[in-house]
Chain A
Amino acid sequence: AQTVTQSQPEMSVQEAETVTLSCTYDTSENNYYLFWYKQPPSRQMILVIRQEAYKQQNATENRFSVNFQKAAKSFSLKISDSQLGDTAMYFCAFREETSGSRLTFGEGTQLTVNP
């Protein structure tokens, strides 16, 4: 069974600083996709960044980047120059290429950016 683990229920960071959110997953597949979603108080899930397992290069999107360690089954999210608007719940998610249909989510990390 696929599992996604986020070991940090809550984290906080000062504005303009850098923070890293951890995620590990378990799969027997070789081809899969990893995502970080952000859920602000509005409840809408917003895609932050995604990574294909067959790509060795870590994905980056502006201030957001990932550290993808396939052998260790680790997929951490780094947020640089944190902004107050980054305050949200962050979910790591996993999707196998073969299953196609569902995303499996971690339990989430509540990130608070302090002024």
Chain B
Amino acid sequence: GAGVSQSPSNKVTEKGKDVELRCDPISGHTALYWYRQSLGQGLEFLIYFQGNSAPDKSGLPSDRFSAERTGGSVSTLTIQRTQQEDSAVYLCASSRGSTAWGGTIYFGEGSWLTVV
């Protein structure tokens, strides 16, 4: 597709369950980002992948959160043993490269996670 694609669009899960959120970046984009947006708040950086480099995981809030990117394209964000405070919109974004100017960041529509 032409844009960043995320699935599922909405997910309701029970507390304690694991969830996986998927992101398919724009073709040819080497950089991929995950952000979290809690209700009424700004975006919180989670993790960043750039090519074959080690990901920048400095934004992950706990060890229950992990992400991988297979083949330099699709990424999966996994939240284990979900808690109610994990309820948020998880936004994925991609850009052409790591350089700030050449890499304008394009966002997907997000996955809305609700933990009940």
Question: For this complex, into which size category does the number of interface residues on chain B fall?
Answer: 20 to 34
In the bound complex, do residue A97 and residue B100 qualify as a contact, i.e. CB atoms below 8 Å apart?
A: yes
Q: Known contacts being A95-B100, A97-B100, is A103 close to B45, with CB within 8 Å? A: yes
In the bound complex, do residue B110 and residue A44 qualify as a contact, i.e. CB atoms below 8 Å apart?
A: yes
List residues of chain B with CB within 8 A of the CB of A46.
107
Tell me the smallest distance from the CB of B79 to a CB of chain A, in Å: 19
A52 contacts the other chain (Cβ, under 8 Å)? yes
Question: For this complex, into which size category does the number of interface residues on chain A fall?
Answer: 20 to 34
Contact stretch, chosen from A56-64, A73-81, A104-112: A104-112
A45 contacts the other chain (Cβ, under 8 Å)? yes
Give Cα A107 to B101, complex, Å: 23
Choose from B42, B43, B100 the contact partner of A100 (Cβ within 8 Å). Answer: B100
In the bound complex, do residue B45 and residue A102 qualify as a contact, i.e. CB atoms below 8 Å apart?
A: yes
Choose from B50, B98, B104, B107 the contact partner of A50 (Cβ within 8 Å). Answer: B104
List residues of chain B with CB within 8 A of the CB of A33.
100-101
Q: Known contacts being A45-B93, A100-B99, A101-B48, is A106 close to B42, with CB within 8 Å? A: yes
Residues of A within 8 A of B (CB): 4, 32-33, 37, 42-47, 50, 52, 91, 93, 95-97, 100-108
